[in-house]
Amino acid sequence: MHSHPDLIAAFRDGLATGTLPPGAKALPAEIDRRFAVYRNNVTHGLIEALATRFPVVKALVGDDFFRATARLFIAQHKPTNPVLMLWGEDFPAFLRGFPPAAGLPYLADVARLEYARGIAYHAADPPPLTGEALARAATGADIACVALHPSVQLLRARHAFVTIWAAHQPGAAPGEINPLQEEIALVLRNRLLDVEIWRLTRAESLFIVGLGKTGHLLGAAGAARVADPRFDPTHLILRLSAAGALISRETTDV
């Protein structure tokens, strides 16, 4: 009799190769068909999971292309974690090296953005800074007391991945897009638990990086002014605060 871990491993390998796992029982005339049905159901479920996670990628390439690509990806990248929302991290890199997608060089960056949205949605939820705490932080702007919410992620790309993603959202107005325009995205989950994507300037991105590293509002503003000497962080700070994306640095140390 096979041990439970060995049986699970053999069953997992069988899903990938079609080899019947030891101990599988049914009528000889039916066992191959039954296991094939199970394999197809698993593959179909994983394809649907990718389609749900990467809807704009699917829209860009079409349903048939997406499903064929997803099937190839699944053959090489089975989930290794029971938490399915963590799966798909390798999909952007897979698309970047996938020859049939070479005509859409921005596709992998759009996939990165969509994966980041999922991570942001499931991030931890510490309380945001109150207005009073933010005022104190602004008064003592050189004191390390501000941190970014765990959902906040900064992504850079050589393509207009934010604009392309936004163009495929409900109600988006059609317009000209230069796909070769470099863009920077900030991904975060707001107070209403909705995931937002902001397109940032280079100065704004440097402010975010500086704030994430040091917690100093003043130091982060100084870092941003390397890119734009006229940069004023006030609007960005207020926008981050309204979204609940600023938290106490003490919260991250607990």
Question: Which DSSP symbol is given to 198?
Answer: E
pLDDT tens-place string over residues 120-172: 999 999 999 998 888 888 887 767 789 999 999 999 999 999 999 999 999 98
| pLDDT of 116 | 98
* Statement: residue 77 has pLDDT above 50: yes
Taking a C-beta distance cutoff of 8 angstroms, is the pair 107, 48 a contact? no
- Residues, the chain: 254
**For the segment 167-219, what is each residue's pLDDT rounded down to a tens digit?**
999 998 888 899 999 999 999 999 999 999 999 999 999 999 999 999 999 99
Per-residue pLDDT at 27: 47
CATH number of 126-254: 3.90.930
Q: Convert the pLDDT of each residue in 6-50 to its tens digit.
A: 545 555 555 555 565 665 555 455 655 555 555 566 788 899 999
Which amino acid, 6?
A: D
pTM of the complete model: 0.83
CA dist 72 and 94 (Å) reads 10
**218 vs 211: CA distance, rounded Å:** 9
Domain chopping of the chain, boundaries: 1-104, 126-254
State mean pLDDT over 67-84. 88
Radius of gyration of the chain (CA): 23
Taking 60 as the threshold, does the pLDDT of residue 79 lie above it?
Answer: yes
List 148's β-bridge partners, or say none: 246
Confidence band (pLDDT; 50, 70, 90) for 5? low
The mean pLDDT of 3-8, rounded to a whole number, is 55
